[in-house]
Chains A and B, each alone.
Chain A
């Protein structure tokens, strides 16, 4: 009896968690007349891929996905390259300084993004970077630097001090020690930090919406939302659903494959505060 109740609760939680995404997938695979049928048709019959193909013909959807992947990958790289040396210094700093720095970073990470939007927009326009990937890569790396430093610092602190001393005696310079000792020894945490930053960059919307105006330059969040926002009633729901599925699928796969890493990284990064 208790076991049945528990199983029921798990199924309910699962259903709630996947239902909205699942509903998009079902809608995307339904012929038009079933999408707008009342009472609602739940399962597509027959399954059709016409919306997916229509979407890819109508919008540069592959381009959106590629832009998102490139911007997120570069931003993640920049973020880690800046965060790792800083985390290495903080992990060996006196506790008082370390805690102050980490707390300060936490503040940076929590500020409402709207506060930074207007001056960043000004700067991007001044530099002529509208529609340029750099306009997103630099702010993305900066905005997620606190998270990366938090995750990396706790991993670096757990490394034995002797290793650093040995590296120093072997004549490795400071940056080489981070690159050749810290990063490889804490590789799982580096991967976790990178994964989280990548996900957050992929999902970012506010800056992408503002800094990208040309269709070919848009990332996937900006591309989809601008499609829907401007002409919600022109775009067929089947295509819109196909778009949301295509935009979320790469991320969903990433999360499912690396779930253990994400869970451990986040709980460490979030709970320590």
Chain B
């Protein structure tokens, strides 16, 4: 078979994937950027070029700024706790014990259940009148009277973060478990014979070896939390008073509530652009560190 024939075969095998991504990803991305540079008149169905007008409007939009700070608070708090909890869960599940397979499956379960549906479950748990969260915390003596969790800005954000931690800690656990499996048992055994205690072994051997895995887990989680929509839309709808409205939610509202395609596209494009820049910076930084080590 000639090289040219082989090359033709390869293109023909790549074609379905390229077409699919082209239709559902590449063209839409190009289109949303174009929309963000346009003014869309829905009544006449006309689109006129508006340049960077929408982006200039972002700067003076206080609701956009607050959606940004909400996004950062939500992402930062969720990912920080998930990282610690995920490592702890993984260390527990890495040990051998009877029924480990079942325990692992049940611990992974929250991650595999539909977020939009489980957000409703959390809404019921945090219900002000009949919620079980209030009952449990009152029994434990941690609160005196029932709290309207979803009715106040701070507690609504806290409720969202708790629900997100429940939902996505399993993801971190899975990633860390894989990392733990790649650490050779011989190294740990040698360290044990050298007289290192379990916490010492964790700090001096396991943790340093886990760093690349943890970076991957954090990168994935930051990106997912940053773009998360389902949980927030269903549990708080961005409320009360916009106090839990994230950038994704604000973009959605602009298009589907205020019917402003141009501005909503600008919000979404700007958020994705900033994420891409942050990711490129992080990758460059990690690459330089890796090169030195």
Is A262 a contact of B103 with CB atoms below 8 Å?
no
Interface residues of B in 169-187 (CB under 8 A from A): 170, 174-175, 177-179, 181
Residue from B12, B130, B227 within 8 A of A114 (CB atoms):
B227
Is A21 a contact of B229 with CB atoms below 8 Å?
no
Asked if A139 CB lies within 8 Å of chain B CBs, one says yes
Across-interface contacts of B104 in A (CB, < 8 A):
259, 263
Asked if B20 CB lies within 8 Å of chain A CBs, one says yes
Question: In the complex, A169 Cα to B12 Cα: how many Å?
Answer: 19
Is A21 a contact of B220 with CB atoms below 8 Å?
no
**Given known contacts A13-B92, A221-B117, A241-B124, is B213 in contact with A271 (CB within 8 Å)?**
yes
- A-B CB pair tally, cutoff 8 Å: 267
Binding site for A on B (CB under 8 A): 1, 9-10, 12-14, 16-21, 23-25, 27-29, 31-32, 35, 89, 92, 95, 97, 101-110, 112-125, 127, 129-130, 132, 135, 166, 170, 174-175, 177-179, 181, 213, 216, 220, 223-224, 226-227, 229-230, 233-234, 237, 248, 251-252, 255-256, 261, 264-265, 268-269, 271-272, 275-276, 279
Is B271 a contact of A85 with CB atoms below 8 Å?
no
Is B227 a contact of A256 with CB atoms below 8 Å?
no
Residue from B13, B101, B248 within 8 A of A178 (CB atoms):
B13
Interface residues of A in 225-243 (CB under 8 A from B): 225, 228-229, 232, 237, 240-241, 243
Across-interface contacts of B110 in A (CB, < 8 A):
17, 20-21
Is A40 a contact of B272 with CB atoms below 8 Å?
no
Is A270 a contact of B24 with CB atoms below 8 Å?
no
Asked if A10 CB lies within 8 Å of chain B CBs, one says yes
Is B116 a contact of A221 with CB atoms below 8 Å?
yes
Residue from A119, A145, A232, A251 within 8 A of B114 (CB atoms):
A251
Across-interface contacts of A4 in B (CB, < 8 A):
none
Is A244 a contact of B118 with CB atoms below 8 Å?
yes
Across-interface contacts of A18 in B (CB, < 8 A):
106, 109
Is B252 a contact of A116 with CB atoms below 8 Å?
no
**Which among A43-51, A53-61, A183-191, A201-209 touches the partner chain?**
A201-209
Residue from A86, A120, A268 within 8 A of B24 (CB atoms):
A120
Asked if A252 CB lies within 8 Å of chain B CBs, one says yes
- Determine how close the nearest CB of chain A comes to the CB of B3; give it in whole angstroms: 13
Asked if A193 CB lies within 8 Å of chain B CBs, one says no
Q: Determine the residue in chain B with the shortest Cβ distance to A258.
A: B105
Q: Determine the residue in chain A with the shortest Cβ distance to B1.
A: A168
Q: Which of A17, A36, A85 has the most CB of B within 10 A?
A: A17
Is A13 a contact of B89 with CB atoms below 8 Å?
yes
Interface residues of A in 103-143 (CB under 8 A from B): 107-108, 110-123, 138-139, 141-143
Is A82 a contact of B16 with CB atoms below 8 Å?
yes
- 9 further contact pairs, Cβ within 8 A, besides A143-B25, A145-B17: A13-B103, A14-B106, A20-B122, A78-B20, A82-B19, A113-B229, A114-B251, A203-B113, A237-B124
Across-interface contacts of B124 in A (CB, < 8 A):
23-24, 27, 237, 240-241
Is A259 a contact of B101 with CB atoms below 8 Å?
yes
Asked if A1 CB lies within 8 Å of chain B CBs, one says no
Is B21 a contact of A270 with CB atoms below 8 Å?
no
Question: In the complex, A168 Cα to B233 Cα: how many Å?
Answer: 52
Across-interface contacts of B227 in A (CB, < 8 A):
111-114
Across-interface contacts of B116 in A (CB, < 8 A):
203, 205, 209, 221, 224-225
Question: In the complex, A14 Cα to B93 Cα: how many Å?
Answer: 11
Could you write out 19 A-B pairs with CB less than 8 Å apart?
A: A6-B92, A10-B97, A13-B89, A17-B170, A20-B118, A21-B113, A82-B16, A85-B16, A86-B18, A110-B223, A110-B224, A111-B275, A116-B28, A120-B24, A141-B24, A174-B12, A240-B120, A259-B105, A270-B175
Across-interface contacts of B220 in A (CB, < 8 A):
110, 270
Q: Which of B101, B130, B177, B269 has the most CB of A within 10 A?
A: B130
Is B174 a contact of A270 with CB atoms below 8 Å?
yes
**Given known contacts A17-B109, A20-B122, A110-B223, is B117 in contact with A224 (CB within 8 Å)?**
yes
User: Chain A 195-216, CB within 8 Å of chain B: the 1/0 string?
Assistant: 0000100110110011000000
- Determine how close the nearest CB of chain A comes to the CB of B158; give it in whole angstroms: 16
Asked if A160 CB lies within 8 Å of chain B CBs, one says no
Question: In the complex, A52 Cα to B122 Cα: how many Å?
Answer: 20
**Given known contacts A17-B107, A23-B124, A270-B174, is B114 in contact with A220 (CB within 8 Å)?**
yes
Asked if A247 CB lies within 8 Å of chain B CBs, one says yes
Residue from B112, B174, B255, B261 within 8 A of A251 (CB atoms):
B112
Is A119 a contact of B174 with CB atoms below 8 Å?
no
- Determine how close the nearest CB of chain A comes to the CB of B289; give it in whole angstroms: 16
- Determine how close the nearest CB of chain A comes to the CB of B220; give it in whole angstroms: 7
Question: In the complex, A113 Cα to B32 Cα: how many Å?
Answer: 12
Across-interface contacts of A267 in B (CB, < 8 A):
174-175, 177-178, 181
Is B130 a contact of A174 with CB atoms below 8 Å?
no
Q: Determine the residue in chain B with the shortest Cβ distance to A88.
A: B13
Is A203 a contact of B21 with CB atoms below 8 Å?
no
Question: In the complex, A118 Cα to B30 Cα: how many Å?
Answer: 12
State the 3 A-B residue pairs at the shortest beta-carbon distance, nearest first.
A112-B227, A267-B178, A142-B24
Q: Determine the residue in chain B with the shortest Cβ distance to A221.
A: B116
Question: In the complex, A118 Cα to B234 Cα: how many Å?
Answer: 20
